[in-house]
Amino acid sequence: MERIKNEESTQKARRAFTLRSVARRDTTTRSDGGGGKGPIGLTTLFEPSVPGIADLIFVHGLNGGSYSTWTQDDDPDKFWPAKWLPHDEAFQDARIHTFGYNSSWAQESVLNIQDFASSLLLSLKDCPTIPREEWAPPLIFVGHSMGGLVVKKAFLLSKQKQDFASISQRVNSVYFLATPHHGSDMAEVLARVFAMAGERPFVKELTRNSPTIQAINNEFPEQANEIRLFSFFETKPMSYGIGKSLVVEKQMAQLNYANETTDYLDANHRDSRYEGVVMSLVSAASMTKDR
C-alpha cells in the first residue's frame, strides 16, 4: 500500500512539473527569469506516454537562453526541441528538457562555469520527471558554446560526489555545438570590453587556455573515456564591429579524443541548425532503444 502511495505521489509531482513547464513555455517574456530568452533552471518540454528510453537535455551558452538558443529565426514555431523533435519517430519515446541559466554578458555577475554546472546537477537531481535510479534510461546532453563546458564541468562534479553518482553513471552521449574546448579569442575581446563595467567571471573563463578550461581539460579525458562525444564546428563567420570572424575556430571546437566524432555545421555561432545535429542525435536515440 505504501509503495502505491509513493508511486501516485511521484506521478502527481511529474504531472505538476510538466504543467508548469508548459505554462512557462507559452510565456517567454522578461518574467521568465531569462531576460525574454526562456526560463532559468530545468524545464521539461516533452514527456512520452510510455516509459522514456532516454533523457535529452539542451544547455545553451554565453548570452543564450533555454528557448532562444534553440529557436530558428526568432520564430516560436521553430523552437525545435519542443516543436519538432517530439514528432520525429526517433524521439517519440524520449523525455526532452532544456536548461537555462543567466549567462548574459550585459549584466555584472559573480557566477562562473562551476556555479552553472552545480546548478545543472542539482536541477537534474531534483527534477521529478527524471528517474533517479542508476539503472534508469541514459542521459544525452546537447551543449551549445559555453553550454558544452558547463556540461563537461557538471559531469566531472558528478564523478566527485556520491549524491550525483546515478547521474554520472547514466551519461551516454554529449553533443558539443561550437564549444570552445580550448577557449575563444572573441572571449578575450569581450573580457577587455567589459573589464571596466564590472565582474563577469564566466566570460574571462572562456579566454584561450584559461585556468578553468585547462583544469577541465586535464580531468575530462580520463573520466569521459566511455562516453560517446560529438564535436561540431561552425563554418560561417559572424559580423561584428568592422569585420567578420568565426567565434570558435575549428581547432578550438575539437577535443581530439579517440571516442570523439567531429563534424561541421553550415552555420555561424548564433544559428543552431536543426538539420545539422538531428541525424547524429537520431543515432544516439536509436542506440538507447537497442539497450
- 111-150 per-position pLDDT tens digit: 999 999 999 999 999 999 998 887 789 999 999 999 999 9
Question: What value does the mean pLDDT of the chain take?
Answer: 81
pLDDT (tens digit, 9 = 90+) per residue, 27-37? 333 335 556 79
Q: What is the grid cell recorded at 286?
A: 536509436
Q: Is the pLDDT of residue 2 over 50?
A: no
| CA–CA distances in Å: residue 234 to residues 14, 38, 175 | 37, 24, 14
Look at the domain 40-289 and name its fold. Rossmann fold (3.40.50)
CA-to-CA distance for 45 and 47, rounded, in angstroms? 7
Measured CA angle at 223 (ends 218, 224), to 5 deg: 105
Q: Is the pLDDT of residue 26 over 50?
A: no
Q: Is the pLDDT of residue 15 over 80?
A: no
Q: What is the predicted pLDDT for the residue at 186?
A: 73
Alpha helices by DSSP H, listed for 127-262, are 146-160, 165-168, 185-194, 201-204, 211-223
Q: What pTM, to 2 d.p., does this model score?
A: 0.83
CA-to-CA distance for 180 and 247, rounded, in angstroms? 9
pLDDT (tens digit, 9 = 90+) per residue, 152-174? 999 999 999 999 999 999 999 99
CA-to-CA distance for 68 and 37, rounded, in angstroms? 5
Q: What is the predicted pLDDT for the residue at 18?
A: 40
Where are the strands (E) in the chain, listed by range? 41-46, 55-59, 95-100, 139-144, 171-177, 228-234, 238-240, 243-245, 260-265
Higher pLDDT, 275 or 9: 275
